[in-house]
Amino acid sequence: MSRATTRHSSGSRGRSRGRRLDVTTALSVVLPLLTAGTLLAVRPDDAARDARAPASTPLTRSVTICPGGGSEVALTSGTDASGTTSYVLGKREGETDVEPGSVATVSGGDGPFVARTEGDLAAGLVAGRFDEPLAAAECRAPAPDLWFTGVGAGARHTSVLELVNPDAGPAVVDATLYGVSGVVDAPELRGVSVPARGVVRLALGEVVPRVDELAVHVTTSRGRVSASIRDRQQELGTGGEAEDWLPPQVEPSTSNLLLGTVKGSGARNLVLLNPGEDETRATIRLVSPDAVFSPAGLEEVVLAPQSVTRVSLGEVLTGPDAEGVTGVLVDSPAPITAALRSYVGRDLSHAVTGTPVTAPTTVLAPPGDKRLELAGADAAGTVAVVARNAEGEVLADKTVKVRAGRGFTVPVPRATALLTVTPAGTGITGALVATDGPQVAVVRLRELLTSGLVADVRLGLP
């Protein structure tokens, strides 16, 4: 009896262990499946698909930098805001009040100028720096990516790259140099350290001496830097020398409109960079009050990959077809950069690709006789132009009707120190051209930087 009972109990324990093993086995299979199902249900890739673009926010803090140059810097407000900006000019620190419609001037040396502005004025501060005999430097916020086309590193034509770091930490810059035969090996231009609140100047003729046309792509990999190019043309054996600031291009484009042609006999070289890895072609046309047209004898230009090409426009821009011409339009299937370098009357000047302006903008005017060149309208519209002297007195108030496929010239009073341009119904590209005898300075119209971007940051899976 007891043995039978024992056998029965032993059988029950065996069946119980079997059931426990079956449950464990099932859980070992089911739990991973449930986990995988849960993860699939979360679908982390949805977060990527649901990513949102950065939000625009009003600019309440800004830094504006002018490269080293003349002893004075002009300031104004391009909006209705007024206020005080703190600045460093060379080794001098100070503050100055800035108001719309008039020009404030600070002086203190030929070093770089750095203005730090907070509040409503940050979105409208405009600065300008002009050298003698006549040259205009662009003052702007630090940018991480800029292109300079038509620089030199030889005895006759040479350039100096100036890097200004406005911040308390060091910055690092890389510059890629392009020549007529491709990318130039220039290790001295890679990993350039710019000390905190310091300036570095690189004379290309000393770093990479060459006689061909060059272009340089400047990128900031650490910190913030404002990059500028001071260009110099020298006549060997005669002592003749001229300097001018070469403005940058923000990015390569398939349509490059250059305003600010110069009258008189001399050299005019259109310099083109094809940064792509494939060959492309460029079509060159002239902009006049009557049309945008192709001049006789100027063929399509073949642009080798990652190379610089120079096209002489001396005869084209002084021939019979050039009467009334105000600019050059370069179109290409692939994005390229472009600059027109003119050496006329022993003066050096540059016309560089501009960007369309769609909102009211303000530009500070160099001394001398002046004219405003407009072109590139994408539709019929109007452009209101208001010229003021440094005290804010209105000297001229004009409204110009513009349309696509035409160039327009607006005379500006000589005493103009401040110009406000307001397009309506169309975007427009413009340049203020100042002349004083044979000296020429070209100042591009640029949209005011009135807002910043705030990244979309949300919780997500690691």
> Which CATH number fits the domain that encloses residue 396?
2.60.290.11
Is the link from the previous residue into 133 a cis peptide, with omega within 30 of 0? Answer: yes
Structural domain includes residue 295: no
CB-side neighbour CA atoms (13 Å) of 461: 10
**How many whole angstroms separate alpha carbon 167 and alpha carbon 87?**
13
Structural domain includes residue 280: no
Structural domain includes residue 338: no
Count Cβ atoms within 10 A of the Cβ of residue 355 and give its class: 0-12 exposed, 13-18 middle, 19 or more buried.
Answer: middle
**Cβ-based neighbour number of residue 274 at 10 Å:** 27
Report the candidate in 120, 157, 154, 146 with the shortest Cα–Cα distance to residue 67.
146
Q: Which residues of 68-95 are buried (b: 16+ CB within 10 A; e: fewer)?
A: bbbebbbbbbbbebbbebebbbeeeeee
Residue ending a domain, among 104, 131, 158, is 131
Residue-by-residue pLDDT tens, the chain, 462 positions: 444 444 444 444 444 444 444 545 544 554 555 555 554 455 545 545 556 666 667 789 999 999 999 899 999 999 999 999 999 998 899 999 999 999 999 998 899 999 999 999 999 999 999 998 899 999 999 999 999 999 999 999 999 999 999 999 999 999 999 999 999 999 999 999 999 999 999 999 999 999 999 999 999 999 999 999 999 999 877 667 899 999 999 999 999 999 999 988 899 999 999 999 999 999 999 999 999 999 988 999 999 999 999 999 999 999 888 889 999 999 999 999 999 999 999 999 999 999 999 999 999 999 999 999 999 999 999 999 999 999 999 999 999 999 999 999 999 999 999 999 999 999 999 999 999 999 999 999 999 987 665 545 544 544
pLDDT in the model for residue 150: 98
* Encoded amino acid at 46, one letter: D
Structural domain includes residue 344: no
Structure tokens given for 303: 């642009």
Residue ending a domain, among 131, 147, 171, is 131
Contact 340, 269 (CB under 8 A): yes
**Cβ-based neighbour number of residue 251 at 10 Å:** 14
Instruction: Concatenate the DSSP letters of all residues of 401-436 into one string.
Output: EE-TT-EEEEEE-TT--EEEEEEESS-BEEEEEEEE
Residue with tokens 């000589």: 414
Structural domain includes residue 202: no
**How many whole angstroms separate alpha carbon 134 and alpha carbon 245?**
10
pLDDT in the model for residue 453: 53
Structural domain includes residue 322: no
Cα–Cα distances in angstroms (integers) from residue 288 to residues 202, 293, 322, 337, 423, in the given order: 38, 8, 8, 22, 20
Which residues, 6+ apart, have CB-to-CB distance to 224 below 8 Å?
63, 142, 144, 165, 166, 167, 171
Range of the domain at 388: 355-449
pLDDT in the model for residue 37: 54
Contact 89, 109 (CB under 8 A): yes
Structural domain includes residue 407: yes
Structure tokens given for 180: 């007529």
Structural domain includes residue 49: no
DSSP letter at 426? S
pLDDT in the model for residue 38: 52
For the CA atoms of the chain, what is the radius of gyration? Answer: 31
What's the pTM value of the predicted model, to 2 decimals?
A: 0.86
pLDDT in the model for residue 320: 87
pLDDT in the model for residue 314: 93
Residue ending a domain, among 74, 104, 131, is 131
**How many whole angstroms separate alpha carbon 75 and alpha carbon 362?**
11
pLDDT in the model for residue 194: 98
Helix (H, G, I), strand (E, B) or coil at 9: helix
* Encoded amino acid at 168, one letter: A
pLDDT in the model for residue 53: 63
Please give the tally of structural domains in the chain: 2
Report the candidate in 122, 142, 355, 342 with the shortest Cα–Cα distance to residue 252.
355
